[in-house]
Structure 1
Amino acid sequence: MKYHDSINEAEQLMALCVEQLKQWCLPISPINYAVCYEYQQRCNNSLVQQVEQQITNKGKLDGFFMESVFKEHVLAQSQFRDEIIFDLNNLLSIARHSNAQSSSSAQHLITELDDNIPQLRSVDKNQVNEAIEAIQLASQAFKQQQAHIAQQLKQVEQENKALADELAKARQEIYLDPVTGLFNEKSVAQHIKQWRANNENCQVFAIVIKVNKFNDFVDNFGALLSDVIIAKIAHKVASYVDNSGLPIRASYDEFVLLLPDIDLAVAKEIGKKVVQGVDKLRFVSSKSETKLPKVTINFTASELTNGEHINQLLQRTRQLLS
């Protein structure tokens, strides 16, 4: 975030943000405030558009949505990309330099062999000794150069592993929901692209799952305990798809199971099993050992048509779940 407001401007925006968050029924937390500040400034068009679209489609904002917007539109994602590109360029530069050195030293050795092999056939012992010495020197230089390159490549391998770990962590932050560990909406396009690359006629069916009256649960037991419960529900929901499917947390109380190469009947059957599985869950407060209310879910199954965004799917299925 880069703000250049004067003190008076910042104070005016602060008052607007506080009032706006009250209207949205959201606490004045750092993430909520940062998103609201951007919204009030009206400079971040993509953020403003996403907030207004959410209000139009769902009529309310929640903590899950605000955190998603904060990550996508407020955090300095470009800095991470620049650092990754810089690191990759360094690795490629070292690799190119090592290849050039290897090629040069190999060519030098070949040249020395070509120049001195005829002298090895000479009857003059001095010429033979000189040729052998020249070849030995070239061979020694080649070995030293190869040892140096091997050391450089070892360094590249270590840096490459560190970079791979960083990329894996970044992918986790970008594509996974931190509360449930399920995939988020950003991951959908990549998976569908891969499925349809393997089979261009691949049908993808979506099981959209809604936790019933979860807002009441949040109001009664608070956000922290609700996150624990939603994570347990998410784990149960995800257990009904193997590696070929994609479990997604679509919103605070909604999940989607994307399944390729099945039909509607199979999708509905899986949805029924998910409902039965969640229905068997029982929750007890670890602090008070009090039994918590039973949580139920509802679902609908539908085909995700080619080119349809996950938000479009949710928009047309929410009425069926309300």
Structure 2
Amino acid sequence: MKYQDSLQQASDKAAQVKLFLQRTNLAAHPINYAVSYEYISGYNSELCHIIEHKLLAKAPLDDFVMAELYIRFLAPANPQQEQLLQEASSMVSRMAAYSDVAAEQLDNYIQQLDSSMLQIKNLGADTPLLNIVNQLQHSTTEFRLSQQQMQQQLLLANQQSHQLRHELEQLKQQRLLDPLTGLYNRLAMQNQLDIWFSEQPGRRIAAIAVDLDHFSRFNLEYGNTIGDVILSKVARKVSSYVQNSGLPVRSGGEEFLILLPDVDLRSASEIAEQVRRGVEKLRFVSSRTKKTLPKVTISLGVSLYQQTENWYQFLGRTAEVLLLAKQRGRNQVANETMLAT
């Protein structure tokens, strides 16, 4: 068993978990309960650190965030799977290298042997020596056939190893993507942030928080299946405005986050407005009834990362700017300069 709690300890923790779920407005389903129990137990320092920072920054804890924490820290055999991926990738890389080297060495050996026997013949050697040379030529011919077969096998093994390595890379890439929208997930976001800040500790990063207006109401009226289709198409539209240097992230159920390095507040606000207009122009038709669905709009909040705050405080402040856009009537862009007004 993972936990060695006594009955009394388990009962006390269950009561704390219940209070935690109530305080954070989380439903008491198995995933939320498991993550909360892990947090209350305090065994996983990284998970506790993430939750504490979110609470401190007043960043929302919702089912989407809790599911990602579960997958990242509590999903069975997750660390072992990651280690297996790394070891397998390393193995196929070595296999590909060895097969290339072996094929090249065998080919060089046969070329040298052919050249040496030709030189001996050209020297006009006596009959016994020529007999030996002929025997060597016969053996070389057989060896060449065997080498050609081996080379074909090595080529096939090489192709298979490259294919396996490609599939492994795809698998690792899929772990960084949200399966519904194809946008990056929070794990990918954290990895990219680490890269950006390692390259330039004081780097300027703008964040655009995006939320679909009244989307829960849309799901209730038209169903989650149509809602997922709408969400996926909006995600693609949002992503289309992000250049290669930026990172589009699905940060919540109907929430996205666009991270833009080396971009100032004004430019980020202009990009946010382009995204808003692009989504507003989308039109959706029900494939079943052929009726036009209501127009989908988004609210956006724009802010810049400040060196005096941690990342969770920054995301919390970005969420406040997004809330301001909603309070002002939705389907608009707000930036952090409006918080003081």
- What TM-score does the superposition give when structure 2 sets the normalisation length? 0.71
Match of 1:207, SS state, is strand
| Contact preservation (8 Å) 2:17, 2:36 | yes
Q: Distance in 2 between matches of 1:21 and 1:166?
A: 38
Q: Distance in 1 between matches of 2:66 and 2:193?
A: 26
Q: Distance in 2 between matches of 1:155 and 1:10?
A: 55
Aligned length: 320
2:7 paired with 1:8: yes
| More deviation, 277-286/129-138 | 277-286
Change in CA separation of 1:116 and 1:269 when aligned onto 2, cut-off 3 Å? closer
Q: Distance in 2 between matches of 1:303 and 1:273?
A: 18
2:70 paired with 1:70: yes
Gaps (5+ residues) in structure 2?
Answer: 324-341
Change in CA separation of 1:182 and 1:5 when aligned onto 2, cut-off 3 Å? same
| Contact preservation (8 Å) 1:119, 1:127 | no
Q: Please list the CA deviations of residues 277-301 of structure 1 after superposition, one character each: whole Å capped at 9, or x if unmatched.
A: 3344567887899987765433244
Look up the match of 1:39: 39
Matched residue type, 1:77: N
Look up the match of 1:177: 178
Q: Please list the CA deviations of residues 161-197 of structure 1 after superposition, one character each: whole Å capped at 9, or x if unmatched.
A: 1332132133122x21233221223334666788899
Look up the match of 1:121: 123
2:57 paired with 1:57: yes
**Mapping of residues 1-322 of structure 1, within 5 Å:** 3-5=2-4, 8=7, 12=11, 13=13, 16-18=16-18, 20-58=20-58, 60-75=60-75, 76-95=77-96, 97-98=98-99, 99-100=101-102, 103=105, 106-107=108-109, 110=112, 113-114=115-116, 117-118=119-120, 120-173=122-175, 175-188=176-189, 205-212=206-213, 227-243=228-244, 245-259=246-260, 264-281=265-282, 296-303=297-304, 311-322=312-323
| Contact preservation (8 Å) 1:205, 1:303 | yes
Q: CA RMSD in A?
A: 4.4
Match of 1:299, SS state, is strand
Question: Bigger relative contact order, structure 1 or 2, given CA contacts below 8 A and separation 6+?
Answer: 2
| More deviation, 289-298/251-260 | 289-298
Q: Distance in 1 between matches of 2:278 and 2:193?
A: 27
Task: State percent identity of aligned pairs.
Answer: 30
Q: Please list the CA deviations of residues 75-122 of structure 1 after superposition, one character each: whole Å capped at 9, or x if unmatched.
A: 233212222233234334534654357536744763675477335523
Q: Please list the CA deviations of residues 212-257 of structure 1 after superposition, one character each: whole Å capped at 9, or x if unmatched.
A: 5656767888877655554343233223335554322233443233
Gaps (5+ residues) in structure 1?
Answer: none
